[in-house]
Amino acid sequence: MHDGETPEAPTPDGPTLPAAEDLRAAVGAWLGYMAHELGRADNTLVAYERDLRQLLAWLERDLGRAPALADLARIDARQLRGFLASRRQAKVGSRSLARSLSGLRTFFRWLEREDVARNRAIREVARPRVGHGIPKPLSVEKAAAVVDGGMAAELDWIAARDAAVLLLLYGSGLRISEALGIARREAPTGERQVLRVVGKGGKERLVPVLPVTQAAVSRYLALCPYPLAPDGPLFLGAKGGPLSPRIVQLLMERMRGALGLPDTATPHALRHSFATHLLSAGADLRQIQELLGHASLSTTQVYTEVDRDRLLAVYDKAHPRAHPKA
C-alpha cells in the first residue's frame, strides 16, 4: 500500500475498563507485573487486557453495573461457561477461547497470590478442545514469487520495504511482530549476517540473514524518505510511524489475488514455509527449533507431518510399484 495505507499500529491503551475503581486498579497492577516483572511482550499484554475487557463487559451486562473485585470473587463456573458460550456465539474459535481462558486463569492466580481476591471457579472450567492444526506452507515456487514481488520497483520505497519484510519472514523464519520489532541500529546490512531476535516471552535467539535479505534492507534504507532514529523501528508506515502488522497482512491478501495463492497464504505462512523447506532440504529438527524460537521440540515436530505428506506424495508418484499395472 502507498499513501492509502491504514493508520499506524494501535497503541495498547484503550477506553476505560468497564469495572469499578478497585478492579481497574487491580488489573493495572497485574498488567504492570506481567510487563515489568515477567517481561511479557506488548502483544501479549494487549491480548490479556482484551480478554479481561470482554469478561468485564459481559459481567457488566449481567449485573447491570460495573463489576468490582467482590464480583470476581463471587463469580462461579456456570457464569464463566456462560461467558465462553457468548464468545463462541460471536464466532470466536476454540483456539482463541482457549488462549482467552488461559489469560484469565493467570489473572485469577495473581489475585490469589497477591491476596487481593480468591476464587478458584475458573479452574473448574474445561479448556476448549483445540484441533491439531497442521501448518500450511507455500510451495518453494510460490514462496519465491511472494518475496520477489516487490524487488522490481527500483524507486518505490514502500515496495522496497515490503520486499525486505517478506524476505525476513521467509528467509529467516520471523514472526511479523519480530520483524517489525527490529530497531534501526539492528538492521541486518553489511557484515551483519546474523540477527538477534526477541521472541515470545522475551526469549532471545540468533537467526541467519540471507545476502538477498541484506540487499533488500539496504535498498529500503536508501529509499526511505523519513529519518530513522537508531533505537526507533526499522520499518515505517507511509506516514512515518511504526509499520502496522495489518499492512503486511493486507499486502499478502493482495498477493493472494495477484499470484493465485491459497487463502492460507498469510504472513505467518511464510514462517511455516521457512521451516518446512529447511526440513525438506535435510535440516535437523533441533536446528529448526532453535531458528524458530520454539520452547518445545514438540511444537516443531508438527512440520514433520507436513513433510511426511510431501514425501508420501512423491513416493506415490515416483515409485515404480506404487501403481500396479492393470
What's residue 144's pLDDT?
Answer: 85
CA–CA dist 221, 184 (Å, integer) = 9
Helices in 37-139 by DSSP H: which ranges? 42-63, 69-74, 77-89, 94-113
- Domains in the chain, ordered, with CATH? 21-124 (1.10.150.130), 140-317 (1.10.443.10)
Tell me what pLDDT residue 298 has: 67
The predicted pLDDT at position 130 comes to 64
Specify whether the CB–CB gap between 40 and 286 falls below 8 A.
Answer: no
Q: What is the reported pLDDT for 139?
A: 83
CA distances in angstroms from 226 to 1, 28, 158, 221, 235, listed in the order given: 17, 35, 12, 9, 10
pLDDT the model gives residue 37: 84
pTM (two decimals): 0.60
Nearest-5° angle of CA 190, CA 294, CA 87? 115
Tens-of-pLDDT digits for all 326 residues of the chain?
Answer: 444 454 343 334 456 889 899 999 999 999 999 888 887 778 788 889 999 999 999 999 989 999 999 999 999 999 999 998 998 888 888 878 888 888 999 999 999 999 999 999 988 988 877 655 666 788 888 888 888 865 555 668 999 999 999 999 998 989 999 999 999 999 998 878 888 888 877 788 888 899 999 999 999 999 999 999 999 999 999 999 999 999 999 999 998 888 888 888 889 889 888 888 888 777 777 888 888 877 777 667 667 666 555 555 545 665 555 555 54
Q: What are phi and psi of 273, to 5 degrees?
A: -65, -40
- Cα 53–chain centre separation: 21
Give pLDDT, residue 150: 55
Q: Which residues are catalytic?
A: 175, 200, 268, 271, 294, 303
